[in-house]
Structure 1
């Protein structure tokens, strides 16, 4: 069993294609590719922690529940587009944040990185910023101890905590790696 994290699928959201310059012609194509890529890396016995914005669900949470069920999602850290859903309305926990530990690292998991506690000394796993400000919110920002796990930076796949800790172990101080392709090009992981 592995634990995976991911954020910002925005299933069914037509405007996200243009907003994030996603390489899809339609929401249907985007949704199919993201689901297929998800199951290229995630097995049924793995745990999936979604850091928000599963869908563009501002109403009652039904679409978020359907999409999380399709992903086999185990925990939702609520994002700004998951506002129609609260804990107890879903067959999985819905939280504002959580803490995960893996291979000597402790991660505060939140949708928006600015919601991390001021006194937090570990790493922050987050989403929300997509690929729109890679200078401030790249995949890896060692200086600020942040990892942006939005699908736009991960070739539309979730990433395992084992992979994240391997990347962090291999990063020189003050690393600033924009996306998973930059990690592959620059590090031996």
Structure 2
């Protein structure tokens, strides 16, 4: 069993295509690719921790539930576009944040990077900022000990927590990796 992380699918959200310069011609095409890449990556016995904004669901949570169940998700850290979902009424766990441990590492997981507590002195994993400011919020920001798992930075494919730990073990404070593609090339050079 492998644990995977991703955020900001924004299923069915037409405006996200332009806002994040996603390479899709329609929400239908985008949704299909997102699901295909998910199923190519995550096995049924794996665990998916989604760091928010499953869909553009501001009203009643039905679309978030439907899409999260399509992903066979295990834990949702609620994002700002999942606000229609009432945590107590969801058929899966919904939290505002969580801490995940992998080996000797612990990760504070939240949707918005600004919600990481000042007292947290380890790595934080977040979404929310997409690919719109990779100078400040790249996939990996070593000095800030931050990982941005917004879908655009992961080539729309969840990232395994153990692979992320392996990557971070090779990083130092000066490491800044814009996206997962740059991270793969960086690891290949090591």
TM-score (norm 2): 0.97
In structure 2, what is the equivalent of residue 118 of structure 1? 118
What are the equivalent positions in structure 2 for 1:16-165 lying under 5 Å apart? 16-165=16-165
For 1:46 and 1:187, the matched residues in 2 are separated by: 24
What SS class does the counterpart of residue 147 from structure 2 fall into?
strand
For 1:110 and 1:131, the matched residues in 2 are separated by: 17
What SS class does the counterpart of residue 53 from structure 1 fall into?
coil
In structure 1, what is the equivalent of residue 9 of structure 2? 9
Summarize deviations over 1:149-182 as a string: whole Å, max 9, x none: 0110000000010111011012233200000110
What are the equivalent positions in structure 2 for 1:163-174 lying under 5 Å apart? 163-174=163-174
> Is the CA contact (8 Å cut-off) linking 1:11 and 1:56 kept in structure 2?
yes
Give the RMSD, CA atoms, in angstroms: 0.9
In the comparison of the two structures, how many residue pairs are matched?
A: 189
For 2:3 and 2:184, the matched residues in 1 are separated by: 21
For 2:55 and 2:116, the matched residues in 1 are separated by: 23
Summarize deviations over 1:45-83 as a string: whole Å, max 9, x none: 001000000000000000000000000111110000000
What SS class does the counterpart of residue 88 from structure 1 fall into?
helix
Misfit runs of 4+, over 4 Å: none
For 1:120 and 1:131, the matched residues in 2 are separated by: 24
What SS class does the counterpart of residue 39 from structure 2 fall into?
helix
Deviates more, 1:171-180 or 1:102-111: 171-180
Deviates more, 1:58-67 or 1:84-93: 84-93
TM-score (norm 1): 0.98
Deviates more, 1:20-29 or 1:165-174: 165-174
For 1:177 and 1:103, the matched residues in 2 are separated by: 22
